[in-house]
Amino acid sequence: MIACLRLFTALCLAALLAACASSPSSSLGELPRTPDASLEQLLQEASATKDPEKSALLRLSATDLAIRQHNNQRAEQILAQVPLDQLKPAQQVFASTLAAELAMSRNQPKEALAALNHPSVSRLNEMPADLQTRTHMVRAQALEADGQTLAAARERVTMGQGLTGEPANSNNEDIWALVAALPADQLRTPEPGVLGGWMSLALAVKSASSLQEQQDAIDQWRAQNPTHPAAIQLPATLIKLKELASQPLTKIALLLPQDGQLASVSKALRDGFMAAHYQAQQAGQNPPSIQFYDSSRLTSVDDFYRQAQADGVQLVVGPLEKSLVKQLNVHQQLPITTLALNYSEGGAQGPAQLFQFGLAAEDEAREVARRAHADGLTSAGAMVPQGEWGDRVLKAFRDEWEANGGTIVGVEHIDKPVALAQQVADLVQLRKTGGSSQPSRRQDMQFIFLAATPQQAQQIKPTLNYQYAGDIPVYATSHVYSANGDQNQYKDMNGIRFCETPWLLDTANPLRQQVAAQWPQAGGSLGRLYAMGVDAYQLSSRLGQLKALPENRIDGLSGSLSMDPTQRIERQLPWAEFVNGQVQRLPDTPN
């Protein structure tokens, strides 16, 4: 009886070991696969066998099974017992892929990419197709999570060469989502082959200023690239554009205050809006007609909408007043689609017909977090104004920064000018070391997030230098830039990096030059409002597009515009730095 049991156990072990291996080639080594066995059975047999390679194969199989069962902690423990350097190449690729998948489960894309940097992965094209696909997939996911959007698209294009049917279609949709998220400048970078085709399609769609132009551009691209995967099966989001193009916009209501405290802001917005309208006319387009309404004389928003409906209005742009936007946001629905030029408080979802757009400081705070993360920084200090505005800006920065794994090690709320120097010292936590009388700064703060006026920044930067902390980079919102051309002021802020609207950084833009020639104030800080007016006009015909295609962006003059799930327009901004009294444009954040 005992002999029979021993024979049965031996046969089971042999079957289990055979089921755990497949052999792509003798030189590459056998590959594990998940057998019909439990996790505990695999680990038991791995401990029982005296063959190191078989033991490693069983543990790799057990790791794979634990991942499939979403037991990632156990998978980490098992994989740690596998001697990677002693494995054959195919097994090393498999183990590296498992390690990358586990790193992604922890939201650590850089660790995933490091795992896939093992020398054995250079032989991936010699591996079985299913392993190639799996490795390409996790690398693409890691690259995307790390902000390397173009590289992620390139990885998926490579992966797509081995796919057919529904997996190929799904991968193509993912490629389109990645490429469509690239800025226009990056899309213009020459790229050969299939990826170059995807990029030229995305550029054609982005470059069109109307839905009809987009349709024409897509049709022309398909005619020029008949064998490209996107020509054979158009991405689902582009198919939706055909439906949107069949609903032309013919009349817009511009609802802005003509009197009161916001009159000057309103004028800049209106002038920018109409400048874009006239530019569309000059380009031979057939833009919608514009009818003006004075929101400062409104007694009832419901009465306004009734009048606008009677006038044949299809879209309302405005109001600007936050109190009116708040009223609109609590409506169950609106009779006319509306692009408000401000944001309601609280971030609550409004009616389906309400979209909101403005120059939100929160956008810039998030932009600082994204830029610092892209620059490889992980720990921050922060200086923001005392009060509700500063609290909102700090929260937006904190949420975005911590979501990307960053930490905030110190915060100071700017209040009175006389206290500013001491607040700078408190933030960097200067202290004497050993017997030295020379102070030193804390070493756990890699940069400072700054939301401050130019006058405050003029005081803060020299104080950092005085406090032996001048080497701490400062990343600021646009509020530090007065755009008045004062080189002496700029020199006091030397080295500060800040995000800013394309309107103020790209002075060669033809529309900006036309507007500034007519209204010189548009070349200064008021230019941000002119840019917002221009972009409100661009958005007016593309709200449906952004809602239907959430990965799409519009390269506007107030920033690169996208829509969040609550139908609020968010801006991403280019960057500049004060260098020897000049404003120097910085390269865009890498994708």
Q: What is the CATH number of the domain that holds 43?
A: 1.25.40.10
For residue 421, the model assigns a pLDDT of 67
Which pTM value belongs to this model?
Answer: 0.69
Rounded Cα–Cα distance for residues 359 and 499 (Å) = 13
What is the C-alpha separation between 504 and 583, in angstroms, rounded? 10
Q: How far, CA to CA in Å, does 351 sit from each of 122, 337, 585?
A: 52, 10, 39
Q: What is the DSSP letter of 191?
A: -
Query: Do residue 281 and residue 370 come from a single domain?
Result: no
- Please tell me whether residues 236 and 140 are part of one structural domain: no
In degrees and rounded to multiples of 5, residue 237 shows phi and psi of: -65, -30
Q: Within the chain, what is the greatest distance between any pair of CA atoms?
A: 102
185, amino acid identity:
D
Domain that holds residue 444: 362-500+573-585
Neighbours of 193 (CB within 10 A): 10
Question: What pLDDT shows up at residue 347?
Answer: 67
pLDDT of 10 = 38
**Rounded to the nearest 10 degrees, what angle do helices 301-310 and 322-329 cross at?**
80
The strand pairing partners of 116, in sequence order, are: none
12 and 107 together in one domain = yes
Say how many CA atoms lie within 13 Å of 442 toward its Cβ.
16
Tell me whether residue 224 is in a domain.
Answer: no
Query: Are 241 and 214 members of one domain?
Result: yes
Give a yes or no: residue 24 inside a domain.
yes
In a domain, 510, yes or no: no
The answer to whether residue 172 sits within a structural domain is no
Residue 165 lies in a domain: no
At 72, give phi and psi (nearest 5°).
Answer: -70, -35
CA nearest 115: which of 80, 72, 151, 65?
80
- Whether 428 and 495 map to the same domain: the answer is yes
Domain co-membership, 267 together with 378: no
Residues 581 and 442 both lie in one domain: yes
Q: Please give the structure tokens belonging to residue 452.
A: 């401050």
Residue 508 belongs to a domain: no
Residues in the chain: 591
The enclosing domain of 278 has a CATH number of: 3.40.50.2300
Type of residue numbered 80: A
Considering Cα of 197, then 200, then 206, then 209, what sign does the dihedral take? negative
Q: Is residue 78 a part of any domain in this protein? A: yes
Distance in angstroms (rounded) separating the CA atoms of residues 97 and 335: 53
Please give the pLDDT value at position 212: 76
CB-based contacts of 163, cutoff 8 Å, min separation 6: 133, 171
Assess whether 133 and 276 both reside in one domain: no
Distance between CA atoms of 338 and 324, rounded to whole angstroms?
12
Cβ atoms of residues 382 and 410 within 8 Å: yes
Burial class (CB in 10 A: 0-12, 13-18, 19+), 411: middle
H/E stretch holding 583 reads: strand 582-585
Torsion (CA) 269, 275, 281, 285 in degrees, nearest 10? -60
Q: Quick one: 449 and 527 in the same domain?
A: no
Is the same domain home to 375 and 348?
no
List CB contacts of 361: < 8 A, sequence separation 6 or more: 389, 392, 393, 396, 451, 477, 479
Domain shared by 338 and 380, yes or no: no
Q: What pLDDT, on the 0 to 100 scale, is given for residue 440?
A: 66
Tokens of 321: 């007043």
Q: What does the CA dihedral 586, 528, 322, 340 come to, rounded to 10 degrees? A: -90
Q: Is residue 509 part of a domain?
A: no
Specify whether 469 is located in the same domain as 440: yes
**3-state SS string for 398-434:** HHHHHHCCCEEEEEEEECCHHHHHHHHHHHHCCEECC
* Amino acid code (one letter) for 285: Q
Domain boundary among 146, 173, 198: 146
d(CA 86, CA 84): 5
Whole-number pLDDT of residue 417:
66
**Cα–Cα–Cα angle for 230, 231, 235, nearest 5°?**
40
Output the tens digit of pLDDT for each of the chain's 591 residues. Answer: 334 433 333 334 444 444 444 545 557 777 776 667 888 888 888 888 888 888 888 889 888 899 998 999 999 999 999 898 888 899 999 999 999 999 999 989 999 999 999 999 999 998 999 999 999 999 999 999 988 999 999 999 999 998 999 999 999 999 999 998 888 888 998 888 999 999 999 999 888 766 778 888 999 999 999 999 999 999 988 887 777 766 778 999 999 999 999 999 999 999 999 999 999 999 888 899 999 999 999 999 999 999 999 999 999 999 999 999 999 999 999 999 999 999 988 767 889 999 999 998 999 999 999 999 989 999 999 999 999 999 999 999 999 999 988 999 999 898 876 667 677 777 776 555 555 555 566 778 899 999 998 988 888 888 887 776 778 999 999 999 998 888 888 888 999 999 999 999 998 889 999 999 999 999 999 999 999 999 999 999 889 888 877 777 888 999 999 998 899 999 989 999 999 889 999 987 654
Structural domains counted in the chain: 4
